[in-house]
DNA sequence: CTACCCGTGCAACGGAAGTGCATTTATTGT
DNA sequence: ACAATAAATGCACTTCCGTTGCACGGGTAG
């Protein structure tokens, strides 16, 4: 509880009640979360607030956005001290075709790719799709 | 012209006038194309027709869909004899943050990734973002 | 020639992201 | 403690894109 407030403060995000709740929600879930997920979980709050909270979190480096190819934006908490912006720190994501959940595989960094002449990479996104550990029965 | 008809026939797609035009359009452009792009190019035709044409092309293996993280679906012609479905044949895509175009780098296959226990990969999507060869001045 | 299938067109729907503005809540200076 | 100010929240509305239902019409096959 107190740690959350501290974490938000460190990142320059004012720890309002709502934001703490959303942070806690993100922390409990071990999967990437969509705006609609949060909207469902906090049906009393307004969608715009939740939307802007996520955008604030993203801008301040509290969460990173995930594009898993489903067409809906997902978010997950950043590791403490992570540098999502830097190309070297980009991890891959896994989307399960069975349970439809997306998880961060923070241990698995995106390998460096040699590009043709003239191409300069600044960012990368690698998503693997298949069956997750929960759904594969193992 | 005749080759296009043949190509479509080979893939089980009836070569209507519209479809041939769309195929030709995709072939001329060297970049990934969105439905809106096609809609703009063929303002006389109906959006639905174009949409379903792309979906038909995709189902029959004439084009593959590309998710470049912009939020809009793009499409590009498949290489003759490509096996987009197979994991081994997946190439990466490059999205230019300057000109906003997305290109296939068909030579660059997505490297195989060792996943944690229980995860089974069936598909992969790797998108690099940065500055393309045209925009980097080289 | 006729019946049918499939491509095309028109209209409408639904989900999701995003914005402008009013209102409430928190923060700061006096 | 109070006023002035800034930030967060809520409501309404919009736009964009993908998608579907249904009706029409031209080509294809029997
Ligand atoms: Mn992640
Ligand atoms: Mn491609
Ligand atoms: Zn799963
Ligand atoms: Zn470019």
Q: Could you give the domains of chain A?
A: 2-136 (1.10.10.10)
| Better-predicted residue by pLDDT, B10 or A87 | B10
Mean pLDDT computed over every residue of chain A: 94
Mean pLDDT (whole number) for A82-91 = 78
Beta pairing class for A120-131 and A91-96: parallel
Angle of CA points A65, A66, A72, to nearest 5°: 100
Q: How far is the CA of A76 from the C1' of D5 (A)?
A: 34
Judging contacts by C-beta atoms under 8 Å, the chain B residues touching residue A121 are: 94, 128-130
pLDDT 10s digits, A2-18: 899 999 999 999 999 99
Q: Rounded to whole angstroms, how far apart are CA atoms B34 and B55?
A: 12
pLDDT in the model for residue B50: 98
| Better-predicted residue by pLDDT, A83 or A61 | A61
Q: Rounded to whole angstroms, how far apart are CA atoms A66 and A33?
A: 9
Interhelix angle B47-59/B17-28, rounded to 10 degrees, is 70
Closest Cα to residue B118, out of A70, A94, A77?
A: A94
For residue A63, the number of C-alpha atoms closer than 13 Å in the C-beta half-sphere is: 27
In chain B, what is the greatest distance between 2 CA atoms, to the nearest angstrom?
Answer: 53
pLDDT in the model for residue A134: 95
pLDDT 10s digits, B40-66: 999 999 999 999 999 999 999 999 999
pLDDT in the model for residue B8: 95
Q: Who among B92, B111, B121 is closest to A130 (CB)?
A: B121
Residue A84 banded pLDDT, cuts 50, 70, 90 = confident
Q: How far is the CA of A14 from the C1' of C27 (A)?
A: 11
pLDDT in the model for residue A138: 62
A 10 A CB-CB count for B74 gives: 23
Q: Rounded to whole angstroms, how far apart are CA atoms B66 and A132?
A: 23
Residue A103 near residue A132, CB atoms below 8 Å: yes
pTM: 0.92
Residue B68 near residue B95, CB atoms below 8 Å: yes
Residue B92 near residue A92, CB atoms below 8 Å: no
Contact B136 A120 (CB under 8 A): yes
Determine the nucleotide nearest to A19 by Cα–C1' distance.
D8
pLDDT 10s digits, A70-81: 999 999 999 887
Q: Is B123 exposed, middle or buried (0-12, 13-18, 19+ CB in 10 A)?
A: middle
Angle of CA points B27, B28, B32, to nearest 5°: 70
Task: Using a CB–CB cutoff of 8 Å, tell me whether A3 touches chain B.
Answer: no
Contact A129 B110 (CB under 8 A): no
Q: Rounded to whole angstroms, how far apart are CA atoms A113 and A90?
A: 13
Residue B104 banded pLDDT, cuts 50, 70, 90 = very high
Rounded to a whole number of angstroms, the distance between the first and last alpha carbons of chain A is 33
Judging contacts by C-beta atoms under 8 Å, the chain A residues touching residue B119 are: 94, 128, 130-133, 136
pLDDT in the model for residue B138: 62
- Cβ neighbours of residue A66 under 8 Å, at least 6 residues apart? A32, A73, A74, A75, A76, A93, A102, A104
**Is the predicted pLDDT of residue B137 greater than 90, yes or no?**
no
């Amino acid at each position: 509880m107190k740690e959350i407030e501290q974490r938000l403060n460190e990142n320059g995000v004012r720890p309002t009640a709502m934001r703490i709740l959303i942070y806690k929600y993100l922390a409990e879930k071990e999967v990437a979360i969509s705006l609609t997920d949060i909207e469902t979980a906090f049906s009393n709050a307004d969608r715009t607030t939740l939307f802007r909270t996520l955008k604030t979190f993203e801008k301040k480096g509290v969460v990173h956005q995930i594009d898993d190819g489903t067409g809906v934006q997902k978010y997950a908490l950043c590791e403490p001290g992570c540098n999502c912006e830097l190309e070297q720190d980009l991890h891959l994501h896994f989307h399960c075709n069975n349970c439809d959940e997306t998880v961060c595989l923070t241990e698995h960094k995106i390998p460096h790719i040699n590009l043709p002449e003239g191409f300069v990479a600044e960012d990368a996104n690698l998503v693997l799709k298949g069956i997750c550990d929960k759904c594969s029965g193992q």
